[in-house]
Structure formats: C-alpha cells, structure tokens
C-alpha cells in the first residue's frame, strides 16, 4: 500500500468516473469535469512513477498495474469521445489504431513475460503517450473551451494530435513487435 500504488489505484478509479460524467451529465460543466478528472489521472501517471523511483518503492504490482491503468483510461476516453461524436468520421480510425496497438502490445508483453523477456519502454513511446494524452485532453475540453473560452480550433487540434499519436502508435507498435519477436526467437 505505497503511495505510488495508491495513485495508480486512483487512476483506475478515475476511469468509471470519467465515463459516468460523460455519459450521465451534459453540457460544458460535464466536459470541464471530465477534463479535470482526466488531467488529474494523467498527473498521477507521472507522479506515481516518479515517487516510486525517488522513494525506491518500485514494486511488481506497480509495474503491472501502471500500464493497465493507462490503457483503461485511454481506451475509455476514446470510446466515450466516439460515443458523443467528438471523434467521428475518418478520425475513428486513429482511435481504432491506438486501441489495437494498446491491446497488441499488452498481449505481447504478457507473452514475453512468460519467456522471462523484458522490453523497455522507448523514448518515442513516451512521446507517443504524451501526444496521445494532450490530444485526448484537447478533445475532452474542446467543445466547452471553444464555446466558453471562445478559442476556436481546439477540437481540430485534438484530432490532428490524435492522428499524430496514431502514427507514433504504429511506429512504436512495430518496434515492440519487432523487438519482441526477435527476443522470442533468440530464446
């Protein structure tokens, strides 16, 4: 029950909260509330890893739960943004690419763990995650920000960043698969 693991549990708990806000509430208040929850969850993603390293509280449980929490949050937000038509048309394919990669890499990591093979997260994968989180944040706040703050183009920027995240997703997914298959063949 270390603080880094508690922060990860909080991120997992934020997933149904964000979904409930977007499903049951309407209007700009719902968007801002979902955006706030999402940002808080994103902050805990950085903070739990930082604290675990600094306080030397890294754990097997934390290493397992952290990527699961990330994937749950990203997947749920993507689904809700498609559900409410913030993501629509061809941009749905960017969301599908991101979801497919997340599931594929999770399965690959699970398979490689059975072989006692670890693949480290690349710097590009970290950039992919950052772009993806900024895109989702922009898309969550976008409709409300455009109306309330009178800042046009936030949704468009969010969609453009979502496509960039999808491209980086393909690239890093390929890198993971190539490295994973090579390591599996060697072993």
Which of helix, strand or coil describes residue 184? helix
Q: Provide the strand spans (E) within the chain.
A: none
What CA–CA distances, in Å, run from 31 to 23, 48, 80, 166, 183? Answer: 11, 25, 11, 23, 44
Q: CB under 8 Å to 161, separation ≥6 — which residues?
A: 131, 132, 134, 135, 138
Which of helix, strand or coil describes residue 119? coil
pLDDT in tens, 5-60: 899 999 999 999 999 999 999 999 999 999 999 999 999 988 988 888 888 888 87
Sorted by where each begins, the domain ranges of the chain are: 3-186
- pTM reported for the whole predicted model: 0.90
Q: Residue 30's pLDDT is what?
A: 94
Asked if residues 76 and 19 have their Cβ atoms less than 8 Å apart, the reply is yes
Taking alpha carbons only, the member of 51, 97, 101, 43 closest to residue 71 is: 101
The answer on pLDDT for 149 being more than 70 is: yes
Q: Choose which CATH entry (1.10.3210.10, 3.30.465.10, 1.10.10.60, 1.20.120.1760) describes domain 3-186.
A: 1.20.120.1760
| 182: confidence class by pLDDT, cuts 50, 70, 90 | confident
Q: In whole angstroms, what is the distance from residue 74 CA to residue 167 CA? A: 16
Sign of the four-CA dihedral 145, 158, 152, 19: negative
pLDDT in tens, 88-144: 999 999 999 999 998 888 888 777 777 777 777 789 988 999 999 999 999 999 989
């Amino acid at each position: 029950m270390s603080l880094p693991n508690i922060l990860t549990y909080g991120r997992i708990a934020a997933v149904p909260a964000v979904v409930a806000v977007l499903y049951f509430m309407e209007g700009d208040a719902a968007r801002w509330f979902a955006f706030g929850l999402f940002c808080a969850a994103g902050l805990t993603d950085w903070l739990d890893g930082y604290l675990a390293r600094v306080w030397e509280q890294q754990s097997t449980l934390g290493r397992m739960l952290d990527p699961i929490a990330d994937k749950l949050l990203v997947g749920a937000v993507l689904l809700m943004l498609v559900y409410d038509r913030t993501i629509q048309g061809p941009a749905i394919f960017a969301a599908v690419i991101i979801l497919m990669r997340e599931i594929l890499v999770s399965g690959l990591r699970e398979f490689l763990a059975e072989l006692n093979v670890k693949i480290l997260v690349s710097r590009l994968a970290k950039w992919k995650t950052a772009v993806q989180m900024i895109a989702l944040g922009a898309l969550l706040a976008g409709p409300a920000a455009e109306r309330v703050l009178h800042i046009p183009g936030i949704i468009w920027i969010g969609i453009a960043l979502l496509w960039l995240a999808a491209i980086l997703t393909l690239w890093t997914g390929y890198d993971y698969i190539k490295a994973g298959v090579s390591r599996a063949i060697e072993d």
